Structure 1
């Protein structure tokens, strides 16, 4: 049985509940003495209002999901621990921290509750409870590191202020190079211009298509594979190659800033951007070797839901040793860190 799949302990307790809450909805799974079951997905994102993430709406979805999961296993519904990883927890989680532990205790009889930022569950899913850094690179980009004393968050500031090296960053840089070629300015790429026109239509209409959108980051990121394609074709478009090399440098910078300055440091990379492949990953390996020479790059062991499972199991077993700071990883008062 793999480490994140260890069963929860404790007499009379059926299982622990692990939850991953994000923009596409909730995923929930029970882990018990027989291992980790199949997850359920809600398909509905938890509402965010003036008070932040809505704990009532989360419970409305969780209660029937847990009942169904419990029915599958023949359990009683009593939970030894609950771990919830949620996007926006660090900045929008005040109501969850105030109300959710009590609601979970009332409904499922558990006093052991951990509420984590999704970056934390991504970290734990990838690396477990050891020092290092995890870079989650998709449409956006955020890095999280720990020396097991505190958390170090890097970037994740959105496509206007940061997310450097992300899919949105690469796509925007590629479209800028396309428009430079359209204008006849230096730094342009006719290859990227051709790809942009084929994908989005006339270059002169690009501003009107992107600026009014509410999903600008995803729209920009949709062009990142075209940049990678331009870097692959023929001898490789020089501008596209340079964009991906610069993106790799930004990703390595985030890893370096998040990684503990001394001692062991494993670095794991996660996220859809990695599917771009060698045009990005080749320069990234070089950039990591240069900027974080003391780190060891390792594959991510699991996803954020696996991280929630690991946190819930360790909490139930009284051996959760991860740093707690109230926002990144909140544990219901009374649950002391493991010695």
Structure 2
């Protein structure tokens, strides 16, 4: 008898990942591709197609019973465009039917727990908090982009660090190791405010997120200015979580994104959650596995298959690259 298969796909601005999973929660195939932002031009369906082909290599596409795609920007007004891109990739492979399309927030929650409802806090390049139930976002806070929000994200940390460094250079702020460390990362002379400004403006906002670890490293090394920035980042993230899920006491909380994988911001957020009581936060694994978990639940697979998939992933530290 042919083995029934589900597909889970997670696509963001920098990478696309897809996994094929059996109905008992075993990974059968995996594919990767470049980012697939449906709202940034180009051919995002091509990236989805490439990841799908990788996941299905060696498998019979006719065995696919269900699929869930988590696409960045697929919330509210962006859902129609995301669904169009997903279906285009699906049709290029000649697959029957079509995938269920949700956003990457719901998929991130499902990559940390098999529970039906709870909260997720994501802090990577951007930042957002949400309450999720039934595989969909019910309420959210922030995720408003680097210019208007994403408070506590890697880009937010980088901008706060740059402002502190410039303030130290021109005398508005106290001394900080961020002056030298950020200048070194940007390959400009330390103490040259104009050079720091030019280098920062020459980078795309998402690229500034690469400077976030410079700020957290300085905090870990005891720099007082960086420590204050880290504490504020954690407080803003916790505030977003409380606003998004004010009535989620006792439900699981999933932490996702590079900022929350480890380091001083993650430590401060975990400490803040402990002070609030409730169960300890769960760590997300690869979002493609979360999408596959949602597909398993929709397919009628055994109820424990989603949980088994996450346990296997955690055992091998299966996080997105």
Q: TM-score, length-normalised on structure 1?
A: 0.75
Larger radius of gyration: 1
- SS of residue in 1 equivalent to 2:230: helix
How do 1:263-282 and structure 2 match up within 5 A? 263-275=249-261, 277=263, 279-282=264-267
Mapped to 2, the partners of 1:198 and 1:99 lie a distance apart of 41
- SS of residue in 2 equivalent to 1:282: helix
Does residue 197 (structure 1) correspond to residue 196 (structure 2)? The answer is no
* 1:206 equivalent in structure 2: 196
How do 1:1-339 and structure 2 match up within 5 A? 14-33=4-23, 35-43=26-34, 45=36, 48=39, 58=45, 60=46, 66=52, 69-73=55-59, 75=60, 77-90=62-75, 91-97=77-83, 100=86, 104=90, 107-110=94-97, 113-146=99-132, 151-185=138-172, 187-200=173-186, 201=188, 202-213=192-203, 215-219=204-208, 221-233=209-221, 236-275=222-261, 277=263, 279-290=264-275, 293-317=276-300
Aligned length: 295
Sort the Cα spacing of 1:174 and 1:262 in 2 relative to 1 into closer, same or farther, 3 A: closer
- SS of residue in 1 equivalent to 2:112: helix
Cα offsets for 1:157-204 (capped at 9, x unmatched):
11111111111111111111111111111x333322222233321332
Runs of 5+ unmatched residues, structure 2:
304-321
Runs of 5+ unmatched residues, structure 1:
1-10, 321-339
Shift of 1:231: 2.0
- SS of residue in 1 equivalent to 2:111: helix
Mapped to 1, the partners of 2:85 and 2:49 lie a distance apart of 15
Sort the Cα spacing of 1:153 and 1:262 in 2 relative to 1 into closer, same or farther, 3 A: closer
Q: TM-score, length-normalised on structure 2?
A: 0.79
- SS of residue in 1 equivalent to 2:174: coil
- SS of residue in 2 equivalent to 1:83: strand
Mapped to 2, the partners of 1:69 and 1:229 lie a distance apart of 36
- SS of residue in 2 equivalent to 1:31: strand
Given that residues 131 and 264 in structure 1 are in contact (C-alpha distance below 8 angstroms), is that contact kept between their aligned partners in structure 2? no
Mapped to 2, the partners of 1:163 and 1:228 lie a distance apart of 17
* 1:325 equivalent in structure 2: none
Given that residues 20 and 305 in structure 1 are in contact (C-alpha distance below 8 angstroms), is that contact kept between their aligned partners in structure 2? yes
* 1:328 equivalent in structure 2: none
- SS of residue in 2 equivalent to 1:94: helix
* 2:309 equivalent in structure 1: none
Instruction: Tell me the C-alpha RMSD between the 2 structures.
Output: 3.1
Shift of 1:25: 4.0
